[in-house]
Chain A
Amino acid sequence: KAGVTQTPRYLIKTRGQQVTLSCSPISGHRSVSWYQQTPGQGLQFLFEYFSETQRNKGNFPGRFSGRQFSNSRSEMNVSTLELGDSALYLCASSLDQNSGANVLTFGAGSRLTVL
């Protein structure tokens, strides 16, 4: 069973550019969450998608956006990149069981460097 796949793994952009990151969840997982990881800040919640709908959003500016497709694959976009956007962006998928336990399985991440 394939895990959570994120592409690209590494990318370098310059300030002002935009970037799109992709995430393919585990087969059968319909909930996809995105996190930003920076040293000392832990994992900051960006948003959560289910059935092509954003159900939750973290405290990030509108430059950060996302979407989910009918096959549960998700993308996130960051526009007008700033130096502070340099981070590891992690995607996680889960089954969304009625049990209430949101067990996240993470991808390897996309490491974005903004110059």
Chain B
Amino acid sequence: GENVEQHPSTLSVQEGDSAVIKCTYSDSASNYFPWYKQELGKRPQLIIDIRSNVGEKKDQRIAVTLNKTAKHFSLHITETQPEDSAVYFCAASIRNGGFKTIFGAGTRLFVKA
């Protein structure tokens, strides 16, 4: 079945450093790859997404890259700030008459001031 693997499960960085989270998906029919941020006690919220016909997308300090051949996609956060501390989820979405979005297990990011 469909599967999304996410690494690392925990990431600790110093404020101002960069953070990278990597994901791998199994279903080659996946065509949409969103990233969600979930702060403690809150609901997941979309922070950036990328579609299968695009290799890279950037939004201020956040960027995503997609390698369809290798079925890899990554989230890059530059100049990290304490408010970036949260759990980040990658996901792969398949359109098969309906929608099925499969999430990775999450990465808990700690940004130390």
**Secondary structure of the A contact surface, majority rule:** strand
Q: Which residues does chain A contribute within 8 Å of B97, judged by CB atoms?
A: 55
With A40-B105, A101-B32: A90-B44 Cβ-Cβ less than 8 Å: yes
Q: Which residues of B contact A (CB under 8 A)?
A: 1, 6, 31-32, 34, 36, 42-46, 49, 51, 89, 93, 95-106
A108 at the interface (CB under 8 A from B): yes
On whether A104 and B1 interact (CB within 8 A), knowing A45-B100, A55-B97, A56-B99, the answer reads no
Q: Is A31 at the interface (CB under 8 A from chain B)?
A: yes
Q: Is A33 a contact partner of B43 (Cβ separation < 8 A)?
A: no
- Give residues 58-115 of A contacting B (CB, 8 Å): 59, 90, 94, 96, 100-109
DSSP majority for the B interface? strand
> B43's closest neighbor in chain A, by CB?
A106
Contacts of A107 in B (CB 8 A): 43
Could you tell me the distance in whole angstroms from the C-beta of A55 to the nearest C-beta in chain B?
3
Tell me if A102 and B95 are in contact (CB < 8 A).
Answer: yes
Contacts of B95 in A (CB 8 A): 100, 102
Q: List 30 A-B contacts (CB under 8 A).
A: A31-B98, A35-B103, A40-B105, A41-B105, A42-B89, A42-B104, A42-B105, A44-B103, A45-B101, A48-B98, A48-B99, A55-B98, A55-B99, A56-B99, A56-B100, A90-B43, A100-B31, A100-B51, A101-B32, A102-B99, A102-B101, A103-B49, A104-B34, A105-B46, A106-B43, A106-B44, A106-B45, A107-B43, A108-B42, A108-B43
Chain A residues lying within 8 Å of B1, measured Cβ to Cβ, are: 59
